[in-house]
Structure 1
Amino acid sequence: MIEINHVSKSFHGKHNAIDKLNLMIPDGKIVGFLGPNGAGKSTTIKMMTGILPIDEGTIKLNGIDIVKQPLEAKKIFGLVPDQPDMFLRLKGIEYLNFIADIFNVPTDLRKERIEYFTKQFSIYEALEDYIQTYSHGMRQKIIVTGVLIHDPAIWILDEPLTGLDPKSAYILKEMMRDHADKGNTVFFSSHGLEVVEQLCDVVAIINKGKLIFYGNMDELRSQYQSDQSLENVFLELTSDE
């Protein structure tokens, strides 16, 4: 569970990028996080994961405060950022072992997981190559594998399907569903509205740093008296942009 309580964030003393945001991400659900460019999605995710400081309010992950207990909180989530261009001078296998070392994944277990996930994502044969030689899609796959290798309870995924081939995207979506069905938390930010509509149990829509809707698709259509697609409702909700 992720609990965001009365959280605000501003930059350079200007207007709040995030304005008194309250959001609860439950266990056992895939929650889609939507908003137009500049709405505050990435800022929210960076505060959730301890990358950015919080100006006001609290964020707890499975009851652990990300500010007061950052190391404990960071042990229980895995983050796929919106840009996979990290650790480019490492080989794929070096990166995965580095992540496994950080989270104290036993040797036998890490070997098993590395082989399984990289074969699922068709990058097993590229593990001895440097990440800087990977395509964007391959970099995305190695980052996702790094998240999966320590089996965190909370997945925080910022545009995780970008650059993935159809087979790998399908596999990741199945993994997300399975992870949530086991009672874990999946927080999924995406611009792909059709994917969110098909995959997510709950949708959170943010605009100008404020939460403007939180609920399932039936509640969204009921609230706005619409049988339209998520894309059409989203465009109407954010039309002032």
Structure 2
Amino acid sequence: MPADQLPALDLRGLWRRFGQKVAVAGIDLVVPSGSFYGLVGPNGAGKTTTLSMATGLLQPDFGTVLVHGQDLWSHPLEVKRMLGVLPDGVRLFDRLTGEQLITYAGLLHGLDRETVATRAHDLLVALDLDKDAQTLVVEYSAGMTKKVALACAMVHAPRLLVLDEPFEAVDPVSAANIRDILASYVASGGTVIVSSHVMDLVQRMCDHVAVIAGGHVLAAGTVDDVRGEASLEDRFVQLVGGRVSGEGLAWLRTSSG
């Protein structure tokens, strides 16, 4: 298959156990190049573990990860150059300023200082962090921290962005700006994978989606194929189950006196 037709990400038979708990149980997933791919699932479904294995942060017990046709674990340096990663619970060097942190990330990826300076400025402006460029990251709000971490993931212009809950704690205006940036990135040939709990966001933003629960892929494909005639949220609940009634909370609806 020609290189430009290879999937951006191809997960084959991924397994990962933590002690007695199987977190991921044989996941297969193909993410087409140039897609905006959503990964949805309940808490504890295995999304973060899957993304950690897909980006080289966690080694699978079994299985293969191919990024644009290259085996991640056979060629980790080459493959990681193609990846931009926003991990869950990101830990940053928060005694650096926002500008210093993005600069550091760019230099780690081998960019020259002039290129890094230009890109850091562009990212700070695009993410509305330019007024806080000289502020220490330790003083950033949760949303600002998420945005500067996203900038660090994008500074080297990766071919594939893997973002774990990128909109968590981000205000609506910033979230809209980030969606526009990511949509432009995909339109120019990049690929984005996002995990999110917000079904409406995934439904509006993504063209492909996978539903994961219990360490398995329950459904995957285009958003229209997966949701069928229902909303994505209704289809998700149908696939995952677990809805409970509030009958045991009758006291909440009982007026006193």
TM-score (norm. length: structure 1):
0.93
Task: Give distance in 1, aligned partners of 2:14 and 2:159.
Answer: 23
Equivalenced residue count is: 236
Q: Compare relative contact order (CA 8 Å, sep 6+) and give the higher one, 1 or 2.
A: 1
Greater shift in the superposed pair: 199-208 or 76-85: 76-85
Tell me the residue number matched to 1:198: 204
Task: Give distance in 2, aligned partners of 1:170 and 1:88.
Answer: 25
Tell me the residue number matched to 1:107: 113
Secondary structure in 1 matching 2:114: helix
Note if contact 1:27-1:180 (Cα within 8 Å) is conserved in structure 2: no
Tell me the residue number matched to 1:238: 240
Instruction: Within 5 Å, give how 1:210-221 maps onto structure 2.
Output: 210-221=216-227
Task: Tell me by how many angstroms 1:59 deviates.
Answer: 0.4
Task: Tell me by how many angstroms 1:125 deviates.
Answer: 2.1
Tell me the residue number matched to 1:159: 165
Secondary structure in 1 matching 2:148: helix
Secondary structure in 2 matching 1:162: coil
TM-score (norm. length: structure 2):
0.87
Secondary structure in 2 matching 1:74: helix
Secondary structure in 2 matching 1:24: strand
* 1:78 lines up with 2:80 in the alignment: no
Task: Tell me by how many angstroms 1:180 deviates.
Answer: 1.6
Instruction: Within 5 Å, give how 1:40-55 maps onto structure 2.
Output: 40-55=46-61
Task: Give distance in 2, aligned partners of 1:78 and 1:189.
Answer: 14
Could you list the per-position Cα deviations for residues 46-90 of structure 1 after superposition, in whole angstroms to 9, with x for gaps in the alignment? 111111111111001112222111111111101112224421122
Task: Give distance in 2, aligned partners of 1:220 and 1:147.
Answer: 29
- Decide which of 126, 138, 141 is 2:144's aligned counterpart: 138
Tell me the residue number matched to 2:101: 95
Task: Tell me by how many angstroms 1:171 deviates.
Answer: 1.6
Whichever residue aligns with residue 158 of structure 2, its letter is: P
Secondary structure in 1 matching 2:23: strand
Whichever residue aligns with residue 238 of structure 1, its letter is: V
Task: Tell me by how many angstroms 1:15 deviates.
Answer: 4.3
Tell me the residue number matched to 1:3: 10
Task: Give distance in 2, aligned partners of 1:197 and 1:78.
Answer: 23
Query: Over aligned residues, Cα RMSD in angstroms?
Result: 1.5
- Decide which of 164, 175, 180 is 1:169's aligned counterpart: 175
Task: Tell me by how many angstroms 1:124 deviates.
Answer: 1.2
Could you list the per-position Cα deviations for residues 4-53 of structure 1 after superposition, in whole angstroms to 9, with x for gaps in the alignment? 011111111x2421111110111111010011111100000111111111
Task: Tell me by how many angstroms 1:240 deviates.
Answer: 4.4
Q: Which runs of 5+ in 1 are unaligned?
A: none
Task: Tell me by how many angstroms 1:94 deviates.
Answer: 1.9
Secondary structure in 1 matching 2:101: helix
Task: Give distance in 1, aligned partners of 2:14 and 2:77.
Answer: 20
Q: Which runs of 5+ in 2 are unaligned?
A: 1-7, 244-257
